[in-house]
Amino acid sequence: AQKITQTQPGMFVQEKEAVTLDCTYDTSDQSYGLFWYKQPSSGEMIFLIYQGSYDEQNATEGRYSLNFQKARKSANLVISASQLGDSAMYFCAMRGLIQGAQKLVFGQGTRLTINP
């Protein structure tokens, strides 16, 4: 079965510091995709970054980077120079083939609070 584990229910970081949000995954598939989404209090899901299982380089999108360690099955999100607007829930998700269909499986999320 495919599973995503986020072990940090909440994190508190000072503004301008870098922050790492942990994500480990479990799958027997060779081909899969890993996503990070941001969910502000409004509830919308904002796509941040994607990493494919065959991508050799870590994905980067502006201040976001994904530290992909395939052998350890981890896909941590790194936010550099955090800003007050980064305060939100963050979800790690994995796209895989489940029962013949591509599905997105989510972790429990990490609530990130940026302090001024």
Partner 1 sequence: DGGITQSPKYLFRKEGQNVTLSCEQNLNHDAMYWYRQDPGQGLRLIYYSQIVNDFQKGDIAEGYSVSREKKESFPLTVTSAQKNPTAFYLCASSSRAVYGYTFGSGTRLTVV
| Site residues, partner 1 (CB under 8 A) | 4, 6, 9, 33, 35, 37, 42-45, 47, 50, 52, 91, 95, 99, 101-109, 111
Q: How many residues does the chain have?
A: 116
The residue (of 25 and 37) whose beta carbon lies closer to partner 1 is: 37
Contact 15, 116 (CB under 8 A): yes
* Token pair recorded at residue 14: 């000072």
Nearer to partner 1, 81 or 97 (CB): 97
Decide whether 81 or 113 has the Cβ nearer to partner 1.
113
Instruction: Tell me the closest approach of the beta carbon of residue 26 to partner 1, in angstroms.
Output: 15
Burial class (CB in 10 A: 0-12, 13-18, 19+), 5: middle
